[in-house]
Structures are given as C-alpha cells and as structure tokens.
Amino acid sequence: MLPPAAGTAYGLRMALAPDEIERYARHLVLAEVGGPGQARLKAARVLVIGAGGLGAPLIQYLAAAGIGTIGIVDDDVVALSNLQRQVIHGTPDLGRPKVESAADAVARLNPHVAVSPHPARITPDNAVDLIRGYDLVADGSDNFATRYAVSDACFHAGRPLVTAALGRFDGTLTTIRAHETGPDGNPNPTYRCLFPNPPPPGSVPACAEAGVLGALAGVMGSLMAMEVIRAVADFGEPLVGRLLMVDARAMRFETLHYAWDPDNPLSGSGTSAE
C-alpha cells in the first residue's frame, strides 16, 4: 500500500517546506495531484533497478517530481559508451559507480530527495530483502534473469512493479500488481503470465551487439516515471494487464491486453502453499 495523503492545507504546510511549494507549484495546481498527491510523492520510497538507459531519465524525473526516497540498485561503473543514452551521467563520471554518479545528479536536481545507493546486482537471493524497504519498484534492468528475480520478489513482498524493456528501436512498459485482485475477482496477472519463460540463451542480442536508439531510452524511462508518479499520487488508470509497445521507427504506440494465467507458477491454481 502506498503512503496516505496529507488531506488538508494544514497537512500540506506541515509536509512541504516553502521552497518545496514553489518547486512543485505546477503539480500543486493540477487537480489530479494537488497538495495530497504531492504529499504522497514526498512520503514515497521507490526502488529503481538499474541506473542505465531506462533508469537515467526515470531517476531524474522521479527526483524532479519530489519522490521522498529513491533507492538505486546497480553494480556497474560509467563507461564512455553509456553516455549516448544514460543521461544522468556525464563525461567526468567515467569509471565511477553508477549509483554514486546518479546520487550526485539527484542532489544537484533536488536536495529534498534522499537517495539510498545499493551497489549490488539483484538476484533471487537478495531481491525480497531489498524490495521490502520500499513502497514500489521500477525495473529498468537489461536482462531477463533480473526481471524475473525482481517480479517474483515483488509478488512475494506484495509490492507494485513498473517494468520496461528496450530493443533497438522499440520498447515495452507495463505495471504488475500481482499481489492484488482485479475488478473481475481474479488475481491480477503476474510477469510470468505475460512472459512464462525467458527466451533461449543468446536469442536476444545484448545492447552492445544490437545497438539501441539513445532517445528511445529517454522516452521509455520518462513513461516509467509517469507510471510511477500516477501510482503514487493515485490518479489515472495503471497499465495493469496492459503492455504498452512503442515502435520508434513508425512512431507508433500500441497496447496489448493480457490476463491472469491460472497455471502461472506464482499465483496459479497449482501453486503450493508456503
């Protein structure tokens, strides 16, 4: 469950400093956000998996929006080939851990945001412990092993997950709330309902081999931030059961609907009780 709003003007004054009220003025005049929504954003703890192509714009917009605490998980260092798309880092950051470079960028952008760096690779062994300290998880990792580890852990920890992926000229985005029940009375779909099994090893080339359009990472990371902000501030319709697909070559956006699979290994009918 995401943090409750401060529901009165007095609560807003208590929650936001005077300079924050000016900083977030364009949010505060939005009826869908306003004081209560901005207070939710300030109270929220969001864990970002990956400070790379998707994580870079995602972290920047979450910080600009006033997310109170941003956790960043990444075990990599900044390389020159990253800078074509990983815009939170700069040339002076070459060789630095990405979590440190990203934390410095957040501090420059918004000193009201706390950053918790986690310079580690997320695995099935540590995922649940990392995730439990946050209200929502946003996964911008670049491999299926991490995506499955994160999505499984979010289910077991009862946390919403915003997850995206990049191809050469295409991207996808969805929200997983598999720990909750949908309007039809069935459980919401899990990540494994959408992608039951990872592709065979070697069938999906890595970014270094296939390439990726740099600005596409900015588009998809910004869409991730939008989905996180909407979930925390509690407005709009989340992408639960919907996969947003972006084709940058045709500038086409399409939506694929998917549903709970009763045979999925997390919440399906054959799942053994823990």
In which band, very low, low, confident or very high, does the pLDDT at 269 lie, cut at 50, 70 and 90?
A: confident
Instruction: Report pLDDT for 198.
Output: 83
Return the bridge partners of 176, or none. Answer: 161
Distance CA 59, CA 142 (A): 16
Question: 11-20, 90-99, 120-129, 146-155: which has the minimum mean pLDDT?
Answer: 11-20
Distance CA 76, CA 97 (A): 6
In which band, very low, low, confident or very high, does the pLDDT at 15 lie, cut at 50, 70 and 90?
A: confident
Catalytically active residues are 207
Instruction: Report pLDDT for 271.
Output: 59
Percent share of the chain, pLDDT over 90 = 84
Instruction: Report pLDDT for 2.
Output: 63
> What's the pLDDT tens digit per position in 84-127?
999 999 999 999 999 999 999 999 999 999 999 999 999 999 99
Average pLDDT of the residues of the chain: 91
Instruction: Report pLDDT for 5.
Output: 39
> What's the pLDDT tens digit per position in 159-195?
999 999 999 999 999 999 999 999 889 899 999 999 9
68 contacts 160 by C-beta, under 8 angstroms: no
pLDDT for 14 beyond 60: no
pLDDT for 12 beyond 50: no
Q: List phi, psi (to 5°) of 240.
A: -80, 125
Any alpha helices (H) in 117-197, and if so which ranges? 127-131, 144-157, 191-194
Instruction: Report pLDDT for 111.
Output: 97
**Which SS3 state, helix, strand or coil, does residue 108 take?**
helix
Any alpha helices (H) in the chain, and if so which ranges? 9-15, 18-23, 25-28, 34-43, 55-65, 98-109, 127-131, 144-157, 191-194, 207-210, 214-233
Q: Which domains does the chain have, with CATH numbers?
A: 46-257 (3.40.50.720)
